[in-house]
Chain A
């Protein structure tokens, strides 16, 4: 059967599995084990440390799941000419931690990862990782577009929403992702308003009424004094 026909059959839900369980012989090797260093160096209470240590003690994703995730997260946030993708940005470590920290999501995540395998099996007779990347995307397309996905894939849609959310957040809060995003803050500076050219571009300007009132960077270090009417005089 050609794969288009298989996919049609998935939609119809009639194809029987041709995958035969052969023990642990999957061909994937990609296992990038998560880095476990969850105890941050700052201000944690004993109760928080206890939670972090407990999280540290077990591993959530098994190696098959990790192998799938390594592929999936790079499909969700791939690299391009100027920036790395989710895998290189360390999103796997974040996913491993956050699954344990927010156990409510565990079932959806776990179930979704298996759903990919049996759906791949029913369509192509192979595990998700063993089909071509084009076929993988065909499966993902069933669940990646919530507005048009078939109702019977609703659970898998929710799984993919979760994975998309967490992958995106893991990426954009990583050092590489933050650089790609172009966030410029978190550093001491003196705020002196929106750059003039940006205001012009958006057609806004400062209210002239307040020009004299706004803080003047050069006077910040002069100790404040007020007159009897409460006017700042320094």
Chain B
């Protein structure tokens, strides 16, 4: 869309920066209140229902790289998300001795075009971790404040699951879960012996109709390619498009926001952005500015929006903006399940993700790390893709031929061909996703030495894991080995040791980064109040994971959306009462 940009005051009621989970939800709710809205998005438009945007139901040979990942689509050639760890012309830097990998998507819907659709509510304890273990702060709100919004998100977007009545894993308004796959049942043999719970997973995929705008899942397992019939959640298909139907939403694409503009009183007046089409700067004005550019990017915009009223960056008198950056922990293990070799063939695609998972089940008081993790399981007879048949130089020793004899690593010929066929669907594995401790020392800041192709100074990351996370990773590996072994699988590779922090992935790798603009009651220790409104700039709000005080061992997106809904209602109220 191209607009003639005139600088007129209050062109819009609200400007929303970013169209991902947070920005999309804000656009949907605010547009329903009849407000005029500009959604300013750095990437292009995207709609999987359009044939030219469709990668769903394509066969591996339709991709010249057979689905291999690329710099632009690290999760595979058919993956819907455009961007990745390393975007041309948009660098970030990492301080010496620390590490951080930053995954970004540049398109309408942001990272919800790929995400795993694991949709977990935070539990009552998750909002009060600081009180429970004394490490860091608790949230200024509790589960009871967010519950009504989780309920609304469940109804609006849809999530399947089972009611379990586990205190810190609150149940929602669930759609029916799919039955487990074979490897999931086989792995449960191991967990049963260890008294580790395995319950139906909770994914935002429509196993049942919720309205007439969206279709019902037909079990192709390809949610990361984006669903033509909108049976899974992505912000573009489920929030931005419906918001546009409300009539007063202008979507600005290829528009990279540089800063929030402010007036002499330090209030936000709008945003200044660079259009990727003409590479010129443009300005938009509004009564309210809502940031949903993702936790780190929103912090970057605030830090780049210095003014005489906000010398430390916009609404950053506390100095916390950029700090308390934290990601989930993660590590995993693979194994081969001999009983699944040469298995019967049937269509086992299922939904685009695991059908079962393990919520955190232990008591941290008895462990040498303070916070828990959940386990995600994988395996099955998925569609062959780049990588299928790899690794026979180490794996053939486990594959039995028709006479029951195991092979020799490597080789070639008819035996190799048969072995790969027999091995199909016998690989299993699991990944842990855990809660880390938010720390002031883990942060992003503006790197004065580097800017991107738009001339905007970039972020520099400082992040180190602590003993808490490392001990947790060790526990994950001990557990994985036991589950795999007890379920009759043969472990592959060796168990990572202390030298590699027990296989703990680099910060950022789990793509759950939050906490950079945290909320709190004390303006000296937080940037936002409990409604995600900036303490020092009352018409500035944050709707992405920036506001999180701590992350829980749950994936963040359901909470991002519940909070974005809550904040949007607050904005509507404050606007109608002329408080902002």
Contacts and interface: CB of A to CB of B under 8 A. Distances in A.
Given A164-B393, A189-B219, A215-B177, A182 B421 contact: yes
- Among B64, B174, B421, chain A packs the most CB atoms within 10 A around the CB of B64
A97 B65 contact: yes
Given A145-B408, A191-B178, A43 B55 contact: yes
Contacts of A197: 344
Contact of A186 (B383, B388, B394, B412): B383
A77 B62 CA distance: 21
Interface stretch (B123-131, B179-187, B324-332): B179-187
Interface in B255-304: none
A205 B179 CA distance: 11
Interface string B494-520: 000000000000000000000000000
A78 interface: yes
A52 B72 CA distance: 13
B74 interface: no
Contact of A168 (B155, B163, B178, B416): B416
B467 interface: no
B216 A220 contact: yes
B410 A147 contact: yes
Contacts of A20: none
B457 interface: no
A216 B176 contact: yes
A182 B424 contact: yes
Contacts of B339: 202
A62 B512 CA distance: 46
Nearest to A195: B346
B42 interface: no
Contact of B385 (A94, A173, A174): A173
Contacts of B394: 146
Contact of B383 (A40, A185, A189, A204): A185
The size bracket of the interface on A is 35 or more
Q: How large is the interface on B (under 10, 10 to 19, 20 to 34, 35 or more residues)?
A: 35 or more
B18 interface: no
Contact of A230 (B163, B209, B421): B163
B97 interface: no
Interface string A95-125: 0011001100000000000000000000000
B179 A191 contact: yes
Interface stretch (B240-248, B348-356, B469-477, B567-575): B348-356
Given A145-B409, A169-B386, A201 B344 contact: yes
A213 interface: yes
A223 B393 CA distance: 51
B209 A172 contact: no
A150 B276 CA distance: 56
A221 interface: yes
Interface centre among A102, A170, A194 (most CB of B within 10 A): A194
A192 interface: yes
A42 interface: yes
Given A101-B65, A185-B348, A145 B182 contact: no
Contacts of A48: 70, 72
A199 B160 contact: no
B440 interface: no
A52 B55 CA distance: 17
Contact of A198 (B162, B182, B350): B182
B393 A146 contact: yes
B151 interface: yes
A33 B195 CA distance: 58
A175 B61 contact: yes
Interface in B363-393: 381-393
A183 B392 contact: no
Contacts of B414: 78, 80
Given A187-B57, A198-B344, 11 more contacts: A42-B55, A98-B68, A144-B412, A165-B391, A173-B384, A183-B345, A185-B220, A189-B349, A204-B182, A210-B200, A215-B207
14 contacts: A43-B80, A102-B68, A144-B412, A146-B409, A165-B389, A172-B389, A173-B67, A184-B345, A195-B344, A204-B185, A224-B210, A226-B155, A230-B173, A232-B176
Interface of B: 44, 52-55, 57-68, 70, 72, 80, 82, 88, 151, 155, 158, 160, 162-163, 171-182, 185-186, 188-189, 200, 207-211, 216, 218-221, 339-340, 343-351, 381-394, 397, 408-414, 416-417, 420-421, 424
